[in-house]
Amino acid sequence: MIMSWVQLFAFRNQVHGPLPIVTKVVWCIGSIIYGLLLAGVAIEFPQGLIVGLVYTIVIGFICIAMMIFNRKNLPRGGLFTMGRRMVIQFYLGACVLGLIIIIIWIGKYGLLNRKAAGIAV
């Protein structure tokens, strides 16, 4: 968790040029994997869903704030530019995916972790 905060701070001013398609694909796959990891860890541990909700919402809002208030001459701070603010968008995408999965889990099983919901093997 601390590493993600450090990376967001360290790369807050970084702006990339147009990225090749292979780089965009690898970047998207990495963001999806990290989002799945966030949701999976939250689902696994008791009270992890509450922590996961708070974590994904806080980091997501911080990512959005970093892009909007530190625009770097990009429209809306590069919020909708694929890969121009690569690190911030990576974490934002992962947090959005993790938040969606956590909300779906809570909707289906409540605040129960995997073992309490009877899904663990």
Which 3 state secondary structure label does DSSP give 115?
A: coil
Q: Where are the domains of the chain?
A: 21-109
With CA atoms as reference, report the closest residue to 93 among 71, 111, 75, 67.
67
* pLDDT of 121 over the 80 cut: no
| pLDDT band, residue 32 (cuts 50/70/90) | very high
Pinpoint the alpha helices (H) of 1-121: 2-10, 21-44, 48-69, 86-109
The pLDDT, as a whole number, for residue 90 is 94
- CA pair distance 14, 30, nearest whole angstrom: 18
What pTM was computed for the model? Answer: 0.88
Contacts of 48 (CB under 8 A, 6+ apart): 41, 42, 113
How many C-beta atoms lie closer than 10 Å to residue 20's C-beta? 9
The DSSP output letter for 74 is S
The model's pLDDT over 86-101, given as tens digits with 9 standing for 90+, comes to 999 999 999 999 999 9
- 4 vs 63: CA distance, rounded Å: 11
Instruction: Give the chain's mean pLDDT.
Output: 90
pLDDT score of 82 more than 90: no
